[in-house]
Structure 1
Amino acid sequence: MNFWKKSLPVHKRREKGAKEVRNLAKKSKFQPKPVRIEGRKITTTFWGDAWCRNLESHSDFSNRLPRGKTYVRNGSVMHLEIEKGLITGLVAGNDLYEVSILIDELPQTNWEKIKKKCSGNIASMVELLTGRFSEEIMTLVTAPSYGIFPGSGKMKFKCTCPDWASMCKHVAAVLYGVGNRLDHEPQLLFLLRGVDPGELIASRMALPVSRRKKGNQLKGNLETIFGIELFDDIESIDTTESDLKTDTNSSTDSALESVPDYKAEANETVHASAVVAVDSIDTFDTFDTVEKPQLPELIPRKVHTNVATRVVKKRKIK
């Protein structure tokens, strides 16, 4: 007695599977996400290629993967969904088979190791998702021992087909479909492993916490350390606004008094300039257009007053 159904042609399987998926989508209210391969290559980007290389590196998958490639290429993967720790798919065979793949989350210790080694080497999310980084970083994130891709022991397969093998051709087709999906949505790999890709970006890397003990104090003689002289007693001074004004005025007067001939010399200079300016005026009407001579900034206010008085007297005499 033959328990296996007669195999249907590929186009018949697809038509039958597509009809069943539409009916299932109406009942369960979900949007089918089929895998469509364009051309001969299943994957064309860094993340998609790396996923497929990781699959093919496991020897215990070798006898099932070729059939899975055939199925995914001919459009038999009618639906594929990637969530945190779970991949689900619908594959068209003689019947429509449901595939589920459980994948362990990336251990936190492994993720911390990856973050530490990637620190400052990935500048933006675009660089990360397009795989535009150094060979060293590529080797790091794809490392079999602690990288982002799951090993064979981290995956558990389940399919509703009658094949007794843990990885059947339908499971293999879904796994290759994941590689193709990562070509278009590479961020799903990080979602699958339960990590945040933004933590690998240089601008978001946290600075290391200082381990220096708080409360350190200088020991020894401060005068010797800094080369200064400290007073024994410092009296508190009540500095008010009036004190500051008085002190400022007295300081200015003291500065001027320290140059005893300054006022006299300034008066003579300004007087000579004013006389020359007034003598050059022909009429009374043009007097207002003459610019005042530039006075030095430090001349006391009373010098300005004397000059103005003498200029007016000169004009009246003329």
Structure 2
Amino acid sequence: MSEREWWVLQWLDLLEKYRFKKRLERGRNYAREGNILRIDFEGAKVTAQVQGSADEPYFLWIKLDAFSEEDWSYVIQSLAEKAIFSAQLLAGEMPQNIEEVFIANGLTLFPFSLSDVHSRCNCPDPKNPCKHIAAVYYELADRFSEDPFVLFQLRGKTREEILAEIRKIRQQNGEEMTEISGEKDSIAADVETTPSQKLTVEDFWRYDQPLDSDLVNLKTETDQTVLEMLGGFPLPSTESQAVKQFLEQIHKTIQSEIVHQANP
């Protein structure tokens, strides 16, 4: 069996901490034996039909406390500000330290215990979770593995809504930077073409005018380099290291050129 994703393991760990383990184990067996006849996501709520010992299946629902629109706006703004988070989410991956973003905004993506998960089943068992609800708990782990955005949906935002808002914010930030660069006689504005002039790849990257120091200052407010602030890359470790080394070499070349132009 392949290794489970960290966010799936965190959900399963939530189940393992539940003290009535035999009850959950019966639910796990129900899930394995195919007793879950149907599972649907209705907004931030999960609904399901689970076949029990009776002739007719039981109906149940599960939900988490959804975040408010205001809470989500702060979270998405924070996610959009970190390029590595945006890249991983757009690639369908859950950033390793994403919980820090929610905590910084006074929230928590993952529930602390099963008592934070709301559920109800129409079976006669007075205990909650019953084995039918427990079965869906384990089914949700597989759903989280297939699509980590399911967890976000249980908090009130779908994949499409989150990615659309991230793209919108990053696009707006890009437009703002373009306006600032325009005020500083941006490089792009200095490259003029005519219908009879074809711009080659070599010409595109060539700029023969002295660079404005405000445009080439690669320093940040901290001692970190731009690459260090960007963090890791959503790639296998070997490929990630190769990309990082390549970009570091480019970074050093650019800095060397800046020093050369500043001290001809």
When normalised by structure 1's length, the TM-score is 0.43
Larger radius of gyration: 1
When normalised by structure 2's length, the TM-score is 0.50
Q: Which structure has more RCO (C-alpha within 8 Å, separation ≥ 6)?
A: 2
